[in-house]
Homo-oligomer: A and B are copies of this chain.
Amino acid sequence: MSRHSPAKRESLLHAALELFAEQGFAGTSTALIAKKAGVASGTLFFHFNSKDELIHALFQDVRARIEAHLRASLAADLPLPERFASAFAGLLHYFLDHPAEFKFVEQYHFSPLCARQDEPYRDHSPLRAILLAAREKGLVKDAPILVLEAVAFGPLVALAKEHANRQTPVDESMVRQTIAACWDGLQSRHCAV
């Protein structure tokens, strides 16, 4: 029973990820994906009913990897500010280390394929919980969650995009400065040394 022998399926997903990141969904033909994966063009449609279904499956795949990485960089026992820094820096590092996955997710998020409800990395994630908890404790500004998320995720995505699209080098100190600035922007103004 098991499921489809996974080797060629994964090879297809991997090839699709790289090509979608480089040339977009519509700019990448199924024939090319198959060729890059080293399988015949028909095999793609044995493992996935359509190109769209392949894209959706790839998204679930990537999302799962991101969430796994996120859980690993989540320091649940630290105080909130450190938990924020650890989690958001972890996410940024993941995107910097996996530019193809980042570009794919951004593209999916933008595309009409992305059903309104399945957010790429925000909704239902522990990151939103951190922001909500910090707001409740008065650590961060009493603003709508949409604003807090924009301030927390925006710079992170901007930096990852710059790195993914232009190969701009981003070193560890820039990551730290960016995450620190996000936290400074979120904080309620009570003075801070």
Could you tell me which A residues sit within 8 Å of B by CB distance?
A: 22-27, 103, 106-107, 109-112, 116, 141, 143-144, 146-147, 149-151, 153-159, 161-162, 165-166, 168, 170, 174, 177-178, 181-187, 189, 191-193
Contacts and interface: CB of A to CB of B under 8 A. Distances in A.
Contacts of A184: 184-185, 187, 189
Given A146-B174, A174-B143, A151 B182 contact: yes
A112 B24 CA distance: 9
Contacts of A182: 151, 185
A156 to B, nearest CB: 7
A153 B158 CA distance: 8
A184 B141 CA distance: 11
Contacts of A150: 154-156, 158-159, 162, 178
